[in-house]
Structure 1
């Protein structure tokens, strides 16, 4: 098993006509974020049932790494993308103390 980690998971709902803007903005954000110390995973996935919804999944090694990410320049820039895509809902949660190991 790995040491405890922070998991961020949830959904963002937005105007489906703005999907390309979200994907372009997220690609830039993801490239920068994956280079951050303590980032183990940073992904979005399109919902198969709701056209204007993406699922967010992140893994962080520590609260400190996540806190540094939250005040990074690329996080601030992505805030502008979020403002431009017609957000209709955000439901993102933090799970702390998780350990990782094979599902058996």
Structure 2
């Protein structure tokens, strides 16, 4: 299992446009085999910050996502958005325990 998580920082007033623009890619990704979660969420404490959370069943599924047509289209779309920076990491998970 893989978790991809991180933050995207938009330039001032850019967060809403980013979240609107990413929705088609999110919808397509949630239909991909091996994707359990795919979320871009506004940070309630920072008007320019977006939290990213993805849950994949393995590297092959994530690789297929990166090679998808909708990911290629997103890469072009995001070039026109007011993104100031990003920090995104992949975590390889070998066990999971419920906390609640």
Report the TM-score when normalising by structure 1. 0.87
* Whole-angstrom CA distance in 2 between matches of 1:35 and 1:99: 25
Secondary structure at 1:17 match in 2: coil
Residue 6 of structure 1: how far off its partner (Å):
0.2
* Whole-angstrom CA distance in 2 between matches of 1:98 and 1:50: 32
CA RMSD of aligned residues (A): 1.5
* Whole-angstrom CA distance in 2 between matches of 1:76 and 1:24: 17
Per-residue CA distance 1:25-67 (angstroms, 9 max, x = gap): 2210111001100001000111122211100000000100000
Residue 80 of structure 1: how far off its partner (Å):
2.1
Over 6 Å off, 4+ runs: none
Counterpart in 2 of 1:35? 31
* Whole-angstrom CA distance in 2 between matches of 1:16 and 1:99: 39
* Whole-angstrom CA distance in 1 between matches of 2:20 and 2:97: 33
Q: Structure 1 pair 101/73, CA: closer, same or farther in 2 (3 Å)?
A: same
Report the TM-score when normalising by structure 2. 0.90
